[in-house]
Amino acid sequence: MILLIPLLYGLALIVRRRVLSRHGGTFELSCRLHTAHPGRGWLLGLGRYTGEQLEWFRIFSLSHQPRRVWSRRSLSYAGRRDAHGAEQMSLYAGHVIVTCTTPEGTVELAMSEASLTGFQSWLEAGPPGTDWDRHRT
């Protein structure tokens, strides 16, 4: 019985990821909202684009609701860097760290190079009337 609980939890996480993927492609996306302590505070997760929004889900949660949602208009790409020190152990292998600014403050996201290309394309593909200068690096 004790072994059954972790097995069911793992199965539920797999099913959840498949369900989330049905409503748009998901990708590995880690998030760090509090940047006061360098290298600390990373949370593993999944990202999903839904039109004008980027949704972020914690990887080990069973919730089908995103933990964070950013609109395309509120995100500005500020730069990228490689993971250093303890960050390399906290993040998925090969992920780069992207710094974004939002009206609420700075957010750091970690994603693969391929996902970064998609993220930048998504930011730049705003609807008519988008302030293009806001997205330049």
pTM (2 d.p.): 0.78
Provide the residue-wise pLDDT of the chain in tens; the chain has 137 residues. Answer: 788 787 777 776 676 667 666 766 789 999 997 666 666 789 999 999 988 999 999 987 777 789 999 999 999 999 999 998 888 888 999 999 999 999 999 999 999 999 999 999 999 986 655 554 555 44
DSSP code at position 117: H
How many angstroms separate the CA atoms of 119 and 115, rounded? 6
Please give the pLDDT value at position 137: 46
Residue 110 near residue 39 (C-beta atoms within 8 A): no
Domains and CATH numbers, the chain: 4-135 (2.30.29.30)
